[in-house]
C-alpha cells in the first residue's frame, strides 16, 4: 500500500486542485444556452392576506417572459414534509399545505408571492419593482407559548391550531419520572433558550433547470446535499415527473450544514417554469434572499430538571421544550426536536429515567429545520449546562460529578430508546484534561486576575447519534424515506476504478477519503480510483450527506460493493492460476495462491474480466462492476470531552476565547487531516452560536438579522487556534470500517463548554450568575454581571 | 452598454457592460472567469476578492467601468506558468486550508496581498488581515496555518493538532 493513499493517512485532498485554481464548478457557474432568469417577489410582512396582485405593467416590460403567481401552480402539489410525528395522544401531527408560491396568505417575511422570468437578471429585477401586491396585514404569531393558547391568531386557519404536535418521550415513563423527582434528594432546574441560527454556507442556493420537449426530459442543477432525495420529493410529490424523466445534478456545492438538504420552492419553480416558458430558467439567491428563504436552525425554549439522590447519582431527567417550526414544515423539521433530540437526552450518563416533552409550534417566521448537529446540540446544551449547574449547587467538582455518573459498560441501553454500542468517556475526559493543561489553569487564572481579567474554564461532554439510520427503525418513527446508502464500483478493463456514491461531498473531501478506502482494500494506488457523486443520472439511488453519515453509511456501501468486486476477482484469479478459489489471497493489488509464488496482478484480472478469452464463462459473467446498498443496523455514537478557556472583561462584558480543546472518539479514522478540519469548522460554528450568532425578529416578525452586517458570522479574529485530538478510539461495532462520523461533533459539544467557561469566570470573579442565554454578547454578559 | 477593456491575468480582454455592472459580474459573466465567487450582497464576505493593480479589492464593490484599463488578477491567474500550484495555493492544500472551496479564491487572493506587503506576518496579523473574508467551513485554523507556512514560517509549533 502506498503510504499516503490508504486508510489512516492524511492524504492531501485531490479536489483542492480545482478549488484552488478557480476551476470548481458550482451551480451558479452553470449557464444554459438561452436561459431566462427568475426573480422572486417575496412578502415584506410576516403575516397577511393577499388581496390582489397586479403584474400587468411588469409583464409588459422589455425582456419579461412571464410573471408567475400561485394561479399558475393550481394542480401542482405543495412542498412535502418528509417526516410524520405521532404525538403523545397517538394523533398524527398537523401538516399544513406548503404551496410553491403563496396562495391567499403570506406567512413569513420572505414567503414567495410571485416570480418574474425575464431575459436578463436585471430585467427581471426591474420588472419586479412594477408589481403591485395588495396585502391585508394580520397580527404576527411569534411567541411560541402564546401561539398555542386557545383563541389566538392562526398561522394556518385550515388546521385549526398552531400546535403541530405535542410529543412525549417515553410517555410510559412519565409517571415513574415524576415519582423519582418527588423522591429526589436534590433537584436542579434550568430554563434556557437555544438561539435561532442561520446556517449560511458561503455559497448561496442556486437552481437552474432545463426541459427538452422532444424527450420530455427535465434536468435540474441545484445546490443540494442529496440530489436523489430532491428528485424523489420534487418529482413524485410536487410536479408529478417520473424519476426516469428527471435528472438532478448537485455539482460542486459550497457548504451546506443542513440547509441544503431540503427541497425548496425555488427548485420546483425553475423546473416547472422551464417547461412553461420553453427555455432554461435560472435562479441565484442573493445573501439577503438566503436569510429570508433558507431553512433556519435551533430555536428551542426549554425547561429541564435533574433529580439526584443523596450520593449525587442522577436519578431522573425531565424536560419541557417548545420547538419553533416556523411558518411551514420544512423537509425534516418534525424529526429534529423529537427523534434527533429526545433520544440523546441520556448524554453520557446512566440516568435511569427520562421524560422529554416537545411542543412543536407554528409561527410567522422562516421555517426551521436541521442545522449542523440538528437536535443533538440542543440536547447536549441542556444537559451539559444542567450538570454544571447541579455541580455548583451541590458544591462538587463538575468533572467529578460527570465522572461519577458516566456510563461505563457497553452496549448500553438508554431509557430513551437508543443503544450505545461503544465508548469510553473517562478516556476522552482524561485526554481533554491533559491536552488543555487543566492542571495549569489556576496559574493562568492568577495571571489574568493580575491584569484585571476574569478567567474561566468550562467543560462539556457530548454524545451524538450519527450514521443515520436503520430504515426499518426510522420508518416506525415516521420517516417517509429509507436511510440506507448506495455505491457502484466500476472496475475498468485496465484496472482503474470509478466509484459512484449516493453520498454527496460539499466540503467533506469524499473524493479523497472514499478513494483511500478502496485503495486500501484492493491494494492499488488511490490515484487509480475516482469518486463520482452528485448526479442522479449516473449514481445509484442514494440518500445523500447529512447527520455525519457519509463514511459510516456511504463508506460502508462502498466497502460492501468493493468486497463483491474482490470476491469476483478472486474467482477470476483462481481460474487464471488454476487453483482453488479458497486458496487465492489478495495483497497489495496482487492475487497469489497461498503458500506458492504463483500470482496474477490486479490488471491481469481486470483485463480478463473484460477480454474474457481465458475465462470461466459458463459459471461467471464477464465484467467487473458491482452495486451495493448498505442499511445500518444501529446509529453510531461518537462522543468527546470539550474544554473552553475564556477571559471576560468585567467592565465591558467582552468574552475572549483563549483556548479550545477537543478530545473526540470517532472510532477508526480514515483521513486524520480531514477529521481535524471537520472538528475545527464545527467548533467555529458552535463558538459562533455561543458568543455571536443570533437570528432575531422584531415584534412584527421582521427579520432584524438579515445580512452579514447584522448577523455576526465568526471571523478569523474571533477564534483561537484549536487543540484537537482524536486518539481515543473505540471502534463502532456494527459497520465494516468501525467509523462513527465526525462532521457535527464540533458544533454539538462546543456551545455548552463556552457558556460553562463564561459562567465559571464570572463565579470565580465573585459574580453570582447562574445562566446567560446565548449568544453571550458583551451587553448580555455585562448585564448579568451588573444584575 | 459600453465596452470595457482591461488586462486580466495578463491578457487584454473586453466585454460589454452597463453602468451598474460590477467588476465581479464582468469577470464571471462577461469573461466566464467563474473562480471569483459571490457570497453576499453587502461587501462583507470577501469571496469575490481579486487584485486590481496589485491591491486586494472586493470585486463586488467596484463598477467595471470604474476600473477600465486596470490590471486585474483573479484566482485563475495565480498558478505558476507551468500550471503547478503557486506557493500560497500549495500551502492551502498542504495544510487543508479549504473544505467546500467557496471562500477559497478570495482567501488566496487576500492572503497573497497580505504576503506581498508583509512577507512574514504573525498569527495575529494574518487573522486581522483576513477579517474581511468569511469562511464557514474551516474555523480559520488551517487557513491561518497555510498563510504562515506560505510565508516560510515553521507552523509545526503554531498549534498542537
Ligand atoms: S461577494 Fe463581495 S464581499 Fe461578499
Ligand atoms: S472552505 Fe467553505 S467557506 Fe471556506
* Contact assignment for A255 to B100 by CB distance below 8 Å: yes
> What is the rounded CA–CA span in Å between residue A104 and residue A50?
5
Q: What is the pLDDT of residue A302?
A: 98
Q: Give the closest ligand to the alpha carbon of residue B40.
A: 1
> What is the rounded CA–CA span in Å between residue A400 and residue A756?
15
Three-point CA angle B111, B116, B119, nearest 5°: 90
Give the residue carrying C-alpha cell 435528472: A247
The whole-number average pLDDT for the span B1-29 is 96
Report which protein residue has its CA nearest ligand 2's atom 3: B135
> What is the rounded CA–CA span in Å between residue A643 and residue A749?
9
Interface probe, candidates A10, A19, A26, chain B, greatest B C-beta count within 10 A: A19
Query: What lines the ligand 1 site, CB under 6 Å?
Result: B 38-40, 43-48, 58, 60
Strand pairing report for A314-326 and A246-249: unpaired
Give the residue carrying C-alpha cell 487509480: A528
Assign A787 a pLDDT band (cuts: 50, 70, 90): confident
Q: Which atom of ligand 1 is nearest to the CA of B48?
A: 2
Three-point CA angle A483, A486, A487, nearest 5°: 160
> What is the rounded CA–CA span in Å between residue A279 and residue A505?
30
> What is the rounded CA–CA span in Å between residue A732 and residue A746?
19
> With respect to CATH, is domain A374-467+634-785 assigned 3.40.50.300?
no
Q: What is the pLDDT of residue A3?
A: 52
Long-range contacts of A147-152 (CB under 8 A, 24+ apart): A147/A361, A147/A362, A147/A363, A148/A359, A148/A361
> With respect to CATH, is domain B87-150 assigned 1.10.150.120?
yes
Residue B34 has pLDDT above 90, yes or no: yes
A735 neighbors A364 (Cβ within 8 angstroms): no
Residue A32 has pLDDT above 50, yes or no: yes
Chain A, chain B: beta-carbon pairs less than 8 Å apart: 182
Tell me how close the Cα of A13 comes to any Cα of chain B, in angstroms. 7
Report which protein residue has its CA nearest ligand 2's atom 2: B100
Q: What is the pLDDT of residue A427?
A: 98
Q: How many CB atoms lie within 10 A of CB A366?
A: 28
* Alpha-carbon distances, residue B49 vs A113, A220, A345, B60 (angstroms): 34, 29, 44, 8
pLDDT digit string, tens, across residues B91-131: 999 999 999 999 999 999 999 999 999 999 999 999 999 99
The whole-number average pLDDT for the span A383-409 is 98
Residue B160 has pLDDT above 50, yes or no: no
| Chain B residues whose beta carbon lies within 8 Å of the beta carbon of residue A122 | 18, 20
**Domain range list for chain B:** 2-76, 87-150
The whole-number average pLDDT for the span A422-440 is 98
The answer to whether B101 faces chain A, any CB pair under 8 Å, is yes
Query: Mutation test of ligand 1: which of B34, B35, B46 has the most ligand atoms closer than 8 Å to its C-beta?
Result: B46
The whole-number average pLDDT for the span A278-301 is 98
Q: Output the DSSP codes for A504-554.
A: --SSS-HHHHHHHHHHHHHTS-GGGEEEE-SBTTTSPS---S-TT-IIIII
Assign A469 a pLDDT band (cuts: 50, 70, 90): confident
The whole-number average pLDDT for the span A113-137 is 97
Q: What is the pLDDT of residue A548?
A: 87
The predicted complex's ipTM stands at 0.97
Q: What is the pLDDT of residue A380?
A: 98
CATH for the stretch B2-76 = 3.10.20.30
* Alpha-carbon distances, residue A118 vs A34, A212, A271, A277, A281 (angstroms): 11, 19, 15, 10, 9
Q: Which atom of ligand 2 is nearest to the CA of A255?
A: 2
pLDDT digit string, tens, across residues A42-75: 999 999 999 999 999 999 999 999 999 999 999 8
Q: What is the pLDDT of residue A326?
A: 98
| Chain A residues whose beta carbon lies within 8 Å of the beta carbon of residue B130 | 715-716
B26 neighbors B65 (Cβ within 8 angstroms): no
The whole-number average pLDDT for the span A343-369 is 98
> What is the rounded CA–CA span in Å between residue A246 and residue B137?
31
Q: Which atom of ligand 1 is nearest to the CA of A287?
A: 4
What are the start and end residues of each CATH 3.90.1170.50 domain in chain A?
Answer: 31-138+202-255+260-293
Distance of CA A304 to the CA centre of its chain: 24
pLDDT digit string, tens, across residues A712-732: 999 999 999 999 999 999 999
Q: What is the pLDDT of residue A4?
A: 65
Q: What is the pLDDT of residue A30?
A: 98
Q: What is the pLDDT of residue A5?
A: 83
The answer to whether B48 faces chain A, any CB pair under 8 Å, is no
> What is the rounded CA–CA span in Å between residue A700 and residue A723?
43
The whole-number average pLDDT for the span A542-566 is 94
What are the start and end residues of each CATH 3.30.365.10 domain in chain A?
Answer: 16-23+484-630, 374-467+634-785
Task: Enter the C-alpha cell of residue A238.
Answer: 410536487
Topology, domain A16-23+484-630: Aldehyde Oxidoreductase; domain 4 (3.30.365)
Calculate how far, in angstroms, residue A462's C-alpha sits from the geometric centre of ligand 1: 36
Assign A136 a pLDDT band (cuts: 50, 70, 90): very high
Calculate how far, in angstroms, residue B41's C-alpha sits from the geometric centre of ligand 1: 6
pLDDT digit string, tens, across residues A216-263: 999 999 999 999 999 999 999 999 999 999 999 999 999 999 999 999
* Contact assignment for A16 to B33 by CB distance below 8 Å: no
Q: Output the DSSP codes for A218-279.
A: EEEEE--S-HHHHHHIIIIIII---GGGEEEE--B----TTTTTS--HHHHHHHHHHHHHTS
pLDDT digit string, tens, across residues A166-220: 999 999 999 999 999 999 999 999 999 999 999 999 999 999 999 999 999 999 9
Q: Give me the residue from B79, B123, B158 closest to A21, CB to CB.
A: B79
* Contact assignment for A254 to B89 by CB distance below 8 Å: no
Rg (CA), chain A: 27
Assign B159 a pLDDT band (cuts: 50, 70, 90): low
Assign B30 a pLDDT band (cuts: 50, 70, 90): very high
| Chain A residues whose beta carbon lies within 8 Å of the beta carbon of residue B93 | 12-13, 16-17, 20
> What is the rounded CA–CA span in Å between residue A484 and residue A533?
16
Q: What is the pLDDT of residue A1?
A: 43
Residue A481 has pLDDT above 90, yes or no: no
The answer to whether B18 faces chain A, any CB pair under 8 Å, is yes
Would the CA dihedral through A243, A246, A250, A256 be positive or negative? Answer: negative
φ, ψ of residue A624 in degrees (nearest 5)? -145, 85
Interface of B with A in 63-92 (CB under 8 A): 74-76, 78-79, 85, 89, 92
The answer to whether B153 faces chain A, any CB pair under 8 Å, is no
The answer to whether A743 faces chain B, any CB pair under 8 Å, is no
Task: Tell me the CA end-to-end span of chain A in Å, nearest whole number.
Answer: 63
The whole-number average pLDDT for the span A80-103 is 96
Calculate how far, in angstroms, residue B130's C-alpha sits from the geometric centre of ligand 1: 13
The answer to whether A676 faces chain B, any CB pair under 8 Å, is yes
The answer to whether A288 faces chain B, any CB pair under 8 Å, is yes
pLDDT digit string, tens, across residues B64-96: 999 999 999 999 999 999 999 999 999 999 999
Report which protein residue has its CA nearest ligand 1's atom 1: B38
The whole-number average pLDDT for the span A637-652 is 98
> With respect to CATH, is domain A31-138+202-255+260-293 assigned 2.40.30.20?
no
Q: Which atom of ligand 2 is nearest to the CA of B107?
A: 4
Assign B161 a pLDDT band (cuts: 50, 70, 90): very low
Task: Enter the C-alpha cell of residue A541.
Answer: 439511488
- Reported as half-sphere exposure (CB side, CA atoms, 13 A), residue B12 has a value of 3
Q: What is the pLDDT of residue B26?
A: 97
Residue B158 has pLDDT above 80, yes or no: no
Q: Of A2-11, A125-134, A220-229, B12-21, which range is least confident? A: A2-11
Strand pairing report for A353-362 and A314-326: parallel
Query: What lines the ligand 2 site, CB under 6 Å?
Result: A 202, 255, 507; B 98-104, 135-138
Fold match, B2-76 / B87-150: no
Amino acid at each position: 500500500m502506498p503510504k499516503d493513499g490508504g486508510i489512516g493517512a492524511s492524504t492531501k485532498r485531490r479536489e483542492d486542485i480545482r478549488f484552488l485554481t478557480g476551476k470548481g464548478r458550482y451551480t451558479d457557474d452553470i449557464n444554459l444556452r438561452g436561459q431566462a432568469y427568475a426573480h422572486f417577489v417575496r412578502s415584506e410582512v410576516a403575516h397577511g392576506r393577499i388581496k390582489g396582485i397586479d403584474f400587468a405593467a411588469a409583464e409588459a416590460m422589455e425582456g419579461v417572459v412571464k410573471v408567475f403567481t400561485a394561479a399558475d401552480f393550481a394542480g401542482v402539489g405543495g412542498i412535502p414534509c418528509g417526516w410524520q410525528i405521532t404525538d403523545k395522544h397517538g394523533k398524527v401531527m398537523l401538516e399544513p399545505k406548503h404551496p410553491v408560491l403563496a396562495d391567499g396568505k403570506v406567512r413569513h417575511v420572505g414567503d414567495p408571492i410571485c416570480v418574474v422570468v425575464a431575459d436578463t437578471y436585471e430585467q427581471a429585477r426591474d420588472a419586479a419593482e412594477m408589481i403591485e401586491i395588495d396585502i391585508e396585514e394580520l397580527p404576527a404569531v411569534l411567541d411560541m407559548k402564546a401561539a398555542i393558547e386557545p383563541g389566538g391568531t392562526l398561522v394556518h386557519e385550515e388546521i385549526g391550531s398552531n400546535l403541530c404536535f405535542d410529543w412525549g418521550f417515553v410517555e410510559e415513563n412519565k409517571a415513574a419520572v415524576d415519582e423519582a423527582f418527588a423522591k429526589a434528594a436534590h433537584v436542579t432546574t434550568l430554563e434556557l433558550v437555544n438561539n435561532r441560527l442561520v446556517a449560511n454556507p458561503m455559497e448561496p442556493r442556486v437552481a437552474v433547470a432545463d426541459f427538452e420537449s422532444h424527450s420530455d426530459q427535465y434536468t435540474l442543477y441545484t445546490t443540494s446535499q442529496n440530489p436523489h432525495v430532491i428528485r424523489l420529493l420534487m418529482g413524485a410529490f410536487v410536479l408529478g415527473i417520473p424519476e426516469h424523466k428527471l435528472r438532478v445534478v448537485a455539482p460542486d456545492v459550497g457548504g451546506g450544514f443542513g440547509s441544503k438538504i431540503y427541497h425548496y420552492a425555488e427548485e420546483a419553480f425553475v423546473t416547472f417554469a422551464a417547461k412553461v416558458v420553453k427555455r432554461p430558467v435560472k435562479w441565484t439567491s442573493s445573501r439577503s434572499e438566503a436569510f429570508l428563504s433558507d431553512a433556519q436552525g435551533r430555536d428551542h425554549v426549554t425547561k429541564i430538571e435533574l433529580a439526584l439522590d443523596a450520593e449525587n447519582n442522577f436519578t431522573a431527567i425531565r424536560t419541557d421544550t417548545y420547538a419553533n417550526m416556523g411558518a411551514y414544515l420544512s423537509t425534516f423539521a418534525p424529526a429534529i426536536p423529537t427523534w434527533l433530540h429526545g433520544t440523546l437526552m441520556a448524554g453520557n450518563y446512566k440516568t435511569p429515567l427520562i421524560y422529554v416533552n416537545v411542543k412543536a409550534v407554528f409561527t410567522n417566521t422562516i421555517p426551521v429545520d436541521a442545522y449542523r448537529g440538528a437536535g443533538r446540540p440542543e440536547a447536549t446544551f441542556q444537559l451539559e449546562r444542567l450538570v454544571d449547574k447541579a455541580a455548583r449547587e451541590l458544591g462538587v467538582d463538575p468533572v467529578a460529578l460527570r465522572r461519577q455518573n458516566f456510563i461505563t459498560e457497553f452496549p448500553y441501553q438508554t431509557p430513551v430508546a437508543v443503544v450505545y454500542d461503544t465508548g469510553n468517556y473517562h478516556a476522552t475526559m482524561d485526554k481533554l484534561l491533559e491536552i488543555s493543561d487543566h492542571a495549569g489553569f489556576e496559574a493562568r487564572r492568577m495571571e489574568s486576575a493580575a491584569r484585571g481579567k476574569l478567567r474561566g474554564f468550562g467543560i462539556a461532554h457530548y454524545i451524538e447519534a450519527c450514521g443515520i439510520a436503520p430504515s426499518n427503525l426510522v420508518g416506525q418513527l415516521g420517516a417517509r424515506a429509507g436511510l440506507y446508502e448506495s455505491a457502484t464500483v466500476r472496475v475498468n478493463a485496465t484496472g482503474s476504478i470509478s466509484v459512484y456514491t449516493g453520498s454527496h461531498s460539499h466540503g467533506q473531501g469524499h473524493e479523497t477519503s472514499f478513494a483511500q478506502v478502496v485503495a486500501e482494500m484492493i491494494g492499488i494506488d488511490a490515484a487509480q480510483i475516482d469518486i463520482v457523486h452528485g448526479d442522479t443520472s449516473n449514481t445509484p439511488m442514494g440518500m445523500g450527506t447529512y447527520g455525519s453519515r457519509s463514511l459510516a453509511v456511504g463508506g460502508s456501501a462502498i466497502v460492501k460493493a468493493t468486497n463483491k468486486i474482490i470476491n469476483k476477482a478472486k474467482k477470476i484469479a483462481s481460474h487464471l492460476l488454476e487453483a482453488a478459489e479458497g486458496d487465492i489471497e489478495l495483497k497489495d493489488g496482487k492475487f497469489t495462491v497461498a503458500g506458492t509464488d504463483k500470482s496474477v496482478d490486479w490488471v491481469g484480472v481486470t483485463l480478463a474480466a473484460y477480454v474474457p478469452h481465458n475465462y470461466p464463462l459458463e459459471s461467471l459473467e464477464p465484467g467487473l462492476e458491482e452495486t451495493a446498498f448498505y442499511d445500518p443496523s444501529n446509529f453510531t455514537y461518537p462522543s468527546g470531552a470539550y474544554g473552553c478557556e475564556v477571559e471576560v472583561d468585567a467592565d465591558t462584558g467582552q468574552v475572549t476565547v483563549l483556548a479550545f480543546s477537543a478530545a473526540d472518539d470517532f472510532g477508526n479514522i480514515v483521513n486524520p487531516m480531514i477529521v481535524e478540519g471537520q472538528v475545527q469548522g464545527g467548533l467555529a460554528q458552535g463558538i459562533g452560536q455561543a458568543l455571536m450568532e443570533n437570528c432575531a425578529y422584531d415584534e412584527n416578525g421582521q427579520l432584524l438579522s438579515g445580512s452579514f452586517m447584522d448577523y455576526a458570522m465568526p471571523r478569523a479574529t474571533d477564534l483561537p487556534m484549536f487543540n484537537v485530538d482524536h486518539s481515543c478510539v473505540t471502534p463502532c461495532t456494527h459497520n465494516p470500517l468501525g467509523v462513527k462520523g465526525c462532521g457535527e461533533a464540533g458544533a454539538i459539544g462546543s456551545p455548552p463548554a463556552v457558556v460553562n467557561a463564561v459562567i465559571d469566570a464570572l463565579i470565580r470573579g465573585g459574580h453570582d450568575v447562574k445562566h446567560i442565554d446565548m449568544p453571550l454578547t458583551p451587553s448580555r454578559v455585562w448585564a448579568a454581571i451588573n444584575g | 452598454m459600453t465596452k470595457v477593456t482591461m488586462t486580466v491575468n495578463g491578457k487584454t480582454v473586453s466585454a460589454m457592460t452597463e453602468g451598474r455592472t460590477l467588476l465581479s459580474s464582468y469577470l464571471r459573466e462577461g469573461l466566464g472567469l467563474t473562480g471569483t465567487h459571490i457570497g453576499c450582497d453587502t461587501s462583507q464576505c470577501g469571496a469575490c476578492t481579486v487584485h486590481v493593480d496589485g491591491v486586494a479589492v472586493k470585486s463586488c464593490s467596484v463598477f467595471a467601468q470604474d476600473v477600465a484599463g486596470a490590471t486585474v488578477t483573479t484566482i485563475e491567474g495565480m498558478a505558476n506558468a507551468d500550471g503547478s500550484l503557486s506557493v500560497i495555493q500549495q500551502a492551502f492544500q498542504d495544510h487543508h486550508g479549504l473544505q467546500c472551496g467557496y471562500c477559497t479564491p478570495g482567501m488566496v487572493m487576500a492572503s497573497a496581498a497580505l504576503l506581498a506587503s508583509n512577507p512574514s506576518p504573525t498569527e495575529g496579523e494574518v487573522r486581522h488581515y483576513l477579517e474581511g473574508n468569511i469562511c464557514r467551513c474551516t474555523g480559520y485554523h488551517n487557513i491561518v496555518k497555510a498563510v504562515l507556512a506560505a510565508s516560510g514560517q515553521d507552523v509545526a509549533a503554531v498549534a498542537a493538532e
